[in-house]
Structure 1
């Protein structure tokens, strides 16, 4: 009998990035562990008060916005009411849901800086039933400067969200790629932090700094803040590099690492152009199934 040749990523033929249906690791996580069984969540009997989850990483381009949109949409499939908060002046979350930020008259900025602003005037429905949006645009960049002189500046976002928590089951805050005052606001009002981590070594280097910031927020502003988990994103199972990075993350953080792994695929840029999540754009794709698994893991933690 011929001995099977061991898999060598350097000698395997390249597969087109769009072919995300060829994941040979579907029954395992990428560290080789058997995937933990995550049961289907029971449908909710009522809504609220919401659990606030900050999606944060000071490194840009790691999939924060993509994960916020698609996790939110996946949660609605399990009957949860979800509010997405675009807390980045670039407004990428708003754009990813088909909203043109420069056309908006009221945004999250107005809720932070204007006492008379009404939350209902800013919240917008999305194309996904059960998922709403607090949009943002470049105006939010001024808030970071203006809040410096405000009393209780770290709690500005918490005060704005407090008015609507009873309507939702989960609030997902898409943080900007920095550890400035806006991100501190998100961490100060959050119950938990979800950390998207691109599977590359440069992303690994920034995690320690983020963990240090979370510890400081926990000590000084929000003692109940917890790390919900680390989500491996932009994973390419064909390359040794990304598998090694994921292995190191699992060795360092253990069960904090979600079993759900988000593969690189052309589907995600397509969804941005379409202005809708992958769960509706390509509902049977591996990307959609990965975010459904992530939603089940989030609800189970």
Structure 2
């Protein structure tokens, strides 16, 4: 792949700040390789977890003889396995994500977050996948912990044309049906969708014990509406246009956005999801460092 394509999604300056920071799962994980994270399964490796009674076939070397001499019964030591996790980057590539110019475009900003977090996850020997969707699932890269996965992600992202409408609930339901055991699911989108339809999908993901992170990527214009004068608004997913004086719209628009975000926050809290509101005008290294530090502190506090 051309170096210019890779540099479009991976900023070396940002990466230098986040590459050594670990992305940890909020709950216990199940994987198929030895790694750095606690598994909900018990085994005979790494960290002592407790005892259980000996049964025929257990390896005698795991018998706790001190317990035997005090209780006159055989017990074996159990340990918590450490294992890898799988993180799925689920990216909304619908037309509304096209809003913005340069590096503040929502889709490019979200793509860079997915790629740089993916790099960090692969670097710690965990697996990352990439799934893109709009009104249907558009592309899927199966999980891998190879550094080549990051290159494959940038290649797929560079082929995207955000022109279709969003059918988020339908697409996420299809994606959820493909997931396996408890994993991490990071959804990057502006979440301009029917929240009542979205909630059952989040419930399905949480019922399957997935760690769900919702990264709500919005342009600063959409958050603060700092537009002046007469502006022509052009629909990205519907063929509508509106020429209006921004002063006439500002109060009503900001009130509607506040109501939407409040409802979204209530849904995420109700279903045990993590939600991060992202302003694409914010420097990405600052955003990622703050997020990874906050997540690490929350996990240590548990």
Q: TM-score range by the shorter chain?
A: 0.3 to 0.5
Higher strand share: 2
- Structure number with greater Rg is 2
Q: TM-score, normalised by structure 2?
A: 0.38
